[in-house]
């Protein structure tokens, strides 16, 4: 298991993306008591942008699949930092804790989520594929791509298979 | 002995455990020469099958040599080379007498647990949770085989292990899936999932005389195996176009396949967008056990009046079952764990006749000590992995 552990694969990351997008654009501003303020507009905009590029990401939950997963993660990081910095750039942090704590908390959540996401998209893969290749007594590529069919077709549509030759055990 | 045990979600380990012993006159002890990892083992590995306990020995596909037997096992001798079917069946109950071996009424000592889950108990299964009896599995050096006078089939020495090993499960399971489709010759059959069971479902449909067999998967190397080895005539790669139903219609003049085989089961990986996101979240939170993309698409794609054959393993409950399409199109849904004992001899004859060489599916042969890496490689489809055979 790698350290830090990165159990989140691209699909689970997508689940979080859509859930976060839906929550931020709808109830989140009201839940944290900033409804009607510019903080609410900023958070809703961030949620909408996040959901939009999620639909365009090349991962299992993406629709258009235009943005590579690693680029998506980079956008997440940039977005998190931008959202966290916004209250301090605009000066709205002076209007009270509610005008900056949600931004910083969301940025922290996003960065934490990134830290446990596997950038390869494989998620919790913790095997040693090189050890498997070394130990494997078969050649997967040859088995799949070379040699005759393994089945004798009865419908005439597939080529004849060779006999299943008895071999020494 | 050494055995591969379940150590928690996404963790297996090879440990030293006590040797099995004869507990009943109808038991035999088999020294295992080859054992395999099944796609359905991944449901245990992923933690979606309840009632697993740490230390449970995994594995339900194995073969080897009889080294000890009880007094009631008259059909086998010590030294016989046998393949062991994954369902444990008594041979005497009403179900077994009907040939319904995978729902044997006597072989599951935890039948009460299974009845609560399924309404009726199913047969015991080697290495497949306490819901199916808590039997020690075959990813080990030795296994105790109950009702050894009913299950195991003797095999000749002139076949390699890998030519006959899959009689234990995936060849009969694939055959059973095709058999449920009532193939008489000339049909178009779609097979969801080009994993090991899907490969054998494809091969079986071809052997039975299907005109076209369409393999559906998202991994190109598996689709290539379906085309090159198993006899598929067409493939659909849903990583390129996720609308499988529309593609199946296009391939069949708008009518749809005569029968569709679901060789995927509860962890369907296709589906996209919000629906898949919701399903993953619900399964992760255990508010549903089964993701139903493959079965839904199978029902939607199948031609009116056709057959949907389900051999992929489902464990509990799925949401959004398309009852409207199922009922209004007049479909037949046929399902089950394969009644392996019923198919052993005819399928062994197919191997002997050279109709099929089941070893085509093996891409990885590893020592048992590599089990942990092997599970990971198989689960994550690394290194063009289709089927792993472990050598104890």
For residue B267, pLDDT beyond 90: no
What integer pLDDT is reported at residue A160 of this predicted model?
42
For residue B78, pLDDT beyond 60: yes
Question: Measured on CA atoms in the order B66, B70, B73, B77, is the torsion positive or negative?
Answer: positive
Model pTM score: 0.81
**pLDDT tens digits, residue range B13-69?**
999 999 999 999 999 999 999 999 999 999 899 888 889 999 999 999 999 999 999
What integer pLDDT is reported at residue B285 of this predicted model?
66
**pLDDT tens digits, residue range B155-177?**
988 999 999 999 999 999 999 99
> For the residues B305-312, what does the mean pLDDT come to?
97
Confidence of residue A123 (pLDDT cuts 50, 70, 90): low
Chain B residue numbers touching A23 (CB-CB < 8 A): none
Minimum mean pLDDT range among A151-155, B6-10, B255-259: A151-155
Task: Show which of residues 80-109 on chain A sit within 8 Å of chain B, judged by CB atoms.
Answer: none
The whole-angstrom separation of Cα A128 and Cα A116 is 20
What integer pLDDT is reported at residue A168 of this predicted model?
35
Query: How many A-B residue pairs are in contact by the CB < 8 A criterion?
Result: 173
ipTM for this model:
0.85
Give the DSSP per-residue string, B293-332: HHHHHHHHHSPTT-EEEE-S---S--S---HHHHHHTT-E
Confidence of residue A162 (pLDDT cuts 50, 70, 90): very low
What integer pLDDT is reported at residue B49 of this predicted model?
85
For residue A120, pLDDT beyond 80: no
B272: helix, strand or coil = coil
- The nearest alpha carbon in chain B to A141 belongs to B384
Q: Residue B276 burial by CB count (10 A; 0-12/13-18/19+): exposed, middle or buried?
A: buried
What integer pLDDT is reported at residue B323 of this predicted model?
93
What integer pLDDT is reported at residue A75 of this predicted model?
95
Q: Which residue has the higher pLDDT, A127 or B298?
A: B298
Is residue B265 reached through a cis peptide bond, with omega within 30 degrees of 0 on the bond before it? Answer: no
Confidence of residue A59 (pLDDT cuts 50, 70, 90): confident
> For the residues A121-149, what does the mean pLDDT come to?
87
The whole-angstrom separation of Cα B93 and Cα B106 is 7
What integer pLDDT is reported at residue A159 of this predicted model?
38
What integer pLDDT is reported at residue B50 of this predicted model?
84
Q: B122 CA to chain A: closest CA distance, Å?
A: 32
Q: Does B227 touch chain A (CB under 8 A)?
A: no
> For the residues A49-60, what does the mean pLDDT come to?
90
Tokens of A132: 């498997």
Confidence of residue B277 (pLDDT cuts 50, 70, 90): low
For residue A60, pLDDT beyond 50: yes
Residue holding tokens 């969801």?
A: B192
Which residues are CB-neighbours of B251 under 8 A, at least 6 positions away? B188, B212, B214, B234, B236
Contact A144 B209 (CB under 8 A): no
What integer pLDDT is reported at residue B288 of this predicted model?
73
Q: Does A134 touch chain B (CB under 8 A)?
A: no
What integer pLDDT is reported at residue B124 of this predicted model?
97
- The nearest alpha carbon in chain B to A131 belongs to B373
Chain B residue numbers touching A12 (CB-CB < 8 A): 280, 284
Q: Does A128 touch chain B (CB under 8 A)?
A: yes
> For the residues B353-362, what does the mean pLDDT come to?
97
The whole-angstrom separation of Cα B87 and Cα B42 is 18
For residue B139, pLDDT beyond 90: yes
Give the DSSP per-residue string, A100-167: THHHHHHHHHHHHHHHTB-TTS--S----HHHHHHH-SS-HHHHHHSS--SB--SSSSSPPPPP----
The whole-angstrom separation of Cα B238 and Cα B224 is 14
The whole-angstrom separation of Cα B123 and Cα B106 is 7
For residue A86, pLDDT beyond 50: yes
Q: Does B10 touch chain A (CB under 8 A)?
A: yes
Q: A146 CA to chain B: closest CA distance, Å?
A: 8
What integer pLDDT is reported at residue B241 of this predicted model?
84
Give the DSSP per-residue string, B199-218: HHHHHHHHHHT-SEEEEEES
Q: Which domains does chain B have, with CATH numbers?
A: 2-169+338-391 (3.90.180.10), 171-335 (3.40.50.720)
Contact A144 B221 (CB under 8 A): yes
> For the residues B357-371, what does the mean pLDDT come to?
97
Q: Which residue has the higher pLDDT, A130 or A3?
A: A130
Which residues are CB-neighbours of A109 under 8 A, at least 6 positions away? none
What integer pLDDT is reported at residue A85 of this predicted model?
96
Q: Does B36 touch chain A (CB under 8 A)?
A: no
**pLDDT tens digits, residue range B320-334?**
899 999 999 999 999
> For the residues A114-121, what does the mean pLDDT come to?
82
The whole-angstrom separation of Cα A71 and Cα A82 is 16
For residue A1, pLDDT beyond 70: no
Q: Are strands B81-84 and B388-391 parallel, antiparallel or unpaired?
A: unpaired
The Cβ of residue A97 has, within 10 Å, a number of other Cβ atoms equal to: 9
For residue B269, pLDDT beyond 90: no
Question: Measured on CA atoms in the order A17, A23, A25, A29, is the torsion positive or negative?
Answer: negative
Task: Show which of residues 60-79 on chain A sit within 8 Å of chain B, judged by CB atoms.
Answer: 60-63
Confidence of residue A156 (pLDDT cuts 50, 70, 90): very low
Confidence of residue B120 (pLDDT cuts 50, 70, 90): very high
For residue B319, pLDDT beyond 90: no
Q: Does B229 touch chain A (CB under 8 A)?
A: yes
B344: helix, strand or coil = helix
Q: Does A142 touch chain B (CB under 8 A)?
A: no
Tokens of B1: 């002995």
Nearest CB to B206 within list A19, A55, A153: A153
The whole-angstrom separation of Cα B354 and Cα B351 is 5
Chain B residue numbers touching A56 (CB-CB < 8 A): none
**pLDDT tens digits, residue range B284-304?**
666 777 778 899 999 999 999
Dihedral in degrees, nearest 10, Cα atoms B263, B266, B271, B275: 150
For residue A101, pLDDT beyond 70: yes
């Amino acid at each position: 298991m790698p350290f830090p552990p990165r159990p989140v694969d691209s699909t689970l990351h997508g689940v979080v993306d859509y859930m976060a997008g839906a929550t931020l654009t709808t109830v989140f501003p009201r839940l944290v008591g900033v409804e009607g303020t510019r903080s609410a507009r900023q958070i809703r905009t961030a949620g909408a942008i996040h959901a939009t590029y999620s639909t365009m990401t090349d991962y299992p939950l993406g629709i258009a699949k235009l943005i590579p997963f690693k680029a998506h993660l980079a956008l997440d990081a940039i977005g998190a930092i931008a959202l966290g910095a916004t209250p301090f750039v605009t000066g709205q942090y002076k209007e009270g804790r509610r005008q900056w704590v949600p931004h910083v908390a969301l940025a922290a959540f996003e960065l934490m989520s990134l830290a446990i996401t596997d950038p390869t998209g494989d998620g919790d893969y913790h095997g040693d594929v090189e050890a498997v290749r070394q130990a494997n007594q078969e050649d997967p590529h040859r088995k799949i791509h070379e040699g005759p069919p393994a089945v004798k077709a009865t419908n005439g549509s597939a080529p004849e298979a060779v006999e299943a030759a008895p071999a020494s055990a | 002995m050494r055995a591969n045990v379940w150590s928690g979600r996404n963790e297996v380990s090879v440990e030293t455990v006590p040797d099995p012993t004869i507990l009943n006159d109808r038991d035999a002890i088999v020294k295992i020469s080859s054992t395999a990892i099944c796609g359905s083992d991944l449901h245990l590995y992923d933690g979606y099958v309840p009632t697993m306990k740490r230390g449970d020995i995994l594995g339900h596909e194995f073969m080897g040599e009889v080294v000890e037997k009880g007094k009631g096992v008259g059909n086998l001798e010590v030294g016989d080379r046998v393949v062991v079917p994954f369902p444990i069946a008594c041979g005497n109950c009403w179900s077994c007498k009907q040939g319904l071996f995978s729902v044997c009424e006597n072989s599951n000592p935890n039948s009460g647990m299974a009845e609560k889950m399924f309404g009726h108990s199913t047969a015991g299964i080697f290495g497949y949770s306490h819901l199916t009896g808590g039997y020690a599995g075959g990813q080990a050096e030795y296994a105790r085989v109950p009702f050894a006078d009913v299950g195991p089939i003797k095999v000749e020495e002139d076949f390699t292990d890998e030519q006959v090993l899959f009689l234990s499960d995936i060849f009969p399971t694939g055959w059973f899936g095709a058999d449920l489709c009532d193939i008489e010759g000339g049909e178009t059959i779609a097979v969801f999932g080009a994993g090991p069971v899907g490969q054998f479902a494809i091969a079986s449909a071809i052997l039975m005389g299907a005109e076209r067999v369409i393999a559906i998967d998202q991994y190109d190397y598996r689709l290539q195996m379906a085309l090159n080895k198993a006899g598929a005539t067409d493939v659909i790669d849903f990583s390129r176009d996720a609308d499988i139903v529309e593609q199946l219609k296009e391939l069949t003049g708008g009518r749809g396949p005569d029968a569709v085989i679901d060789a995927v089961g509860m962890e369907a990986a296709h589906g996209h967008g919000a629906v898949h996101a919701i399903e993953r979240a619900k399964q992760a939170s255990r508010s549903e056990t089964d993701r139903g993309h493959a079965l839904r698409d199978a029902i939607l794609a199948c031609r009116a009046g056709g057959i949907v054959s389900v051999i992929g393993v489902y464990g509990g409950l799925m949401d959004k079952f398309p009852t409207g399409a199922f009922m209004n199109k007049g479909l037949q849904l046929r399902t089950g764990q394969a009644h392996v004992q019923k198919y052993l001899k005819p399928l062994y004859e197919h191997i002997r006749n050279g109709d099929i060489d089941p070893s085509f599916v093996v891409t990885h042969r590893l020592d048992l000590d590599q089990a942990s890496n092997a599970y990971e490689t198989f689960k994550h489809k690394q290194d063009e992995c289709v089927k792993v055979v472990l050598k104890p």
